[in-house]
Amino acid sequence: GNSVTQMEGPVTLSEEAFLTINCTYTATGYPSLFWYVQYPGEGLQLLLKATKADDKGSNKGFEATYRKETTSFHLEKGSVQVSDSAVYFCALSWANGNQFYFGTGTSLTVIP
Amino acid sequence: SAVISQKPSRDICQRGTSLTIQCQVDSQVTMMFWYRQQPGQSLTLIATANQGSEATYESGFVIDKFPISRPNLTFSTLTVSNMSPEDSSIYLCSVADRNTGELFFGEGSRLTVL
């Protein structure tokens, strides 16, 4: 079946540190892959996405590359800021978004 | 994109009572989705609400506990019935962009049941 596995948190980093949050998926075929972010007290917002193999999604300094060979979509940022403190969810979807599968979420705290 | 408004944003409820959450979308959509996010956990799909037909519930969720209305293409409600402390969660309304496959979310309704 379809599933998403992401790195367990919580993750605590100092400002300007490098961030990697691992995400791997199980699916047949080529789903679309997403990273969503949930800031404290808010709903989920799309951070970035990739719809086919080798695509790189990027936004706000975050990047993730759709790797079919390793079934991965790891989130990276070269220099995190305090404002990046949030929960990050990896997800995959089929059928134009009508079937969505979320990872468990990874909490990130960035300290000054 | 879609802008989704949910009400209430938060509420504190007594055990045994029911609460209805409203979701308004700024465009017409065929399907609306209701998710639950329990404290510190990921999202779980409760049901898919189609306009003009009965909602489709996921395993573990039943209509008597979570009745859903979908009177038109821009509005839906989710009722949490006969609440218990285990129902304390964030409830999220969402819609999908059929062109991009992206899911858009409302701000969520944070329920605390005492």
Question: Is 90 exceeded by the pLDDT of residue B2?
Answer: no
**Cβ–Cβ below 8 Å for A105 and B92:** no
φ/ψ of residue A82, rounded to 5? -55, -35
- Copy the structure tokens of residue A24: 């791997």
**Cβ–Cβ below 8 Å for A34 and B106:** no
Burial class (CB in 10 A: 0-12, 13-18, 19+), B24: middle
- Strand B109-113 versus strand B10-13 pairing type: parallel
Stronger pLDDT, A99 or A67, i.e. the higher one: A67
Average pLDDT over residues B29-51: 90
Average pLDDT over residues B105-110: 92
Q: How confident is the model at residue A8 (pLDDT cuts 50, 70, 90)?
A: confident
d(CA A20, CA A110): 13
Chain A residues whose beta carbon lies within 8 Å of the beta carbon of residue B101: 32, 49, 51, 93-94, 96-97
Chain A residues whose beta carbon lies within 8 Å of the beta carbon of residue B97: 96-97
Q: Could you tell me which chain A residue has the CA closest to the CA of B91?
A: A43
Residue B40: per-residue pLDDT: 79
Q: Is A82 helix (H, G, I), strand (E, B) or coil?
A: helix
Residue A11: per-residue pLDDT: 96
Taking the CB of residue B53, how many other CB atoms lie within 10 A of it?
A: 8
Among B31, B97, B107, beta carbon nearest to A42: B107
Distances from the Cα of B2 to the Cαs of A25, A75, A109, B6, B16, in angstroms? 27, 25, 29, 13, 34
Chain A residues whose beta carbon lies within 8 Å of the beta carbon of residue B36: none
